[in-house]
């Protein structure tokens, strides 16, 4: 197995861990997986930092019930990895239950031999599948 494939497999595991942590309300684990400079852009255009996202989750503003995150592509570029995929989520946002279906992009960076999530952006997929 090539080093690139090993890294890609590891990032796939980290992606699963971060979504599992959010659904399990294990926000400490989620935070450990993230870079302190995290930029988390939601499908509605709202952008959170690591701190504001964790606060929103801990206070119940975002309450994830179930998340599916199939990964389409993992691009390894040295100490940066870009993950393209989709996200289907059943969650409650500010008291309203909703379902999301998005295209997503995550950026992971390696620092001190640890991979951390630096950025995430979800973009809503129109119901007809086209923009």
Give the closest residue to 44 by CA, choosing from 116, 98, 95: 98
Torsion sign over Cα 121, 123, 124, 125: negative
CATH number (domain holding residue 76): 3.10.450.50
Residue 83: which region, alpha, beta or left (left: phi > 0; alpha: psi -120 to 50)? beta
Domain range enclosing 23: 3-124
Domain count across the chain: 1
Q: Using one digit for the tens of pLDDT, what is the confidence trace for 79-114?
A: 999 999 999 999 999 999 999 999 999 999 999 889
In a domain, 118, yes or no: yes
Q: Using one digit for the tens of pLDDT, what is the confidence trace for 34-70?
A: 999 999 999 999 999 999 999 999 999 999 999 999 9
User: Residue 65 and residue 76: Cα distance in Å, rounded?
Assistant: 31
The reported pTM is 0.92
In a domain, 130, yes or no: no
In a domain, 60, yes or no: yes
């Amino acid at each position: 197995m090539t080093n690139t494939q090993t890294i890609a497999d590891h990032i796939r595991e980290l992606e699963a861990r971060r979504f599992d942590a959010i659904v399990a309300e294990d926000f400490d684990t989620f935070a450990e997986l993230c870079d302190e400079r995290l930029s988390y852009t939601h499908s509605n255009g709202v952008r959170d930092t690591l701190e504001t996202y964790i606060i929103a989750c801990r206070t119940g503003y975002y309450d994830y019930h179930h998340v599916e995150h199939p990964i389409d592509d993992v691009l390894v570029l040295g100490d940066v990895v870009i993950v393209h995929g989709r996200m289907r989520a059943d969650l409650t946002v500010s008291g309203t239950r909703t379902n999301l279906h998005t295209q997503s992009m995550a950026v992971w960076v390696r620092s001190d031999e640890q991979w951390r999530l630096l950025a995430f952006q979800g973009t809503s997929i129109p119901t007809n599948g086209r923009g």
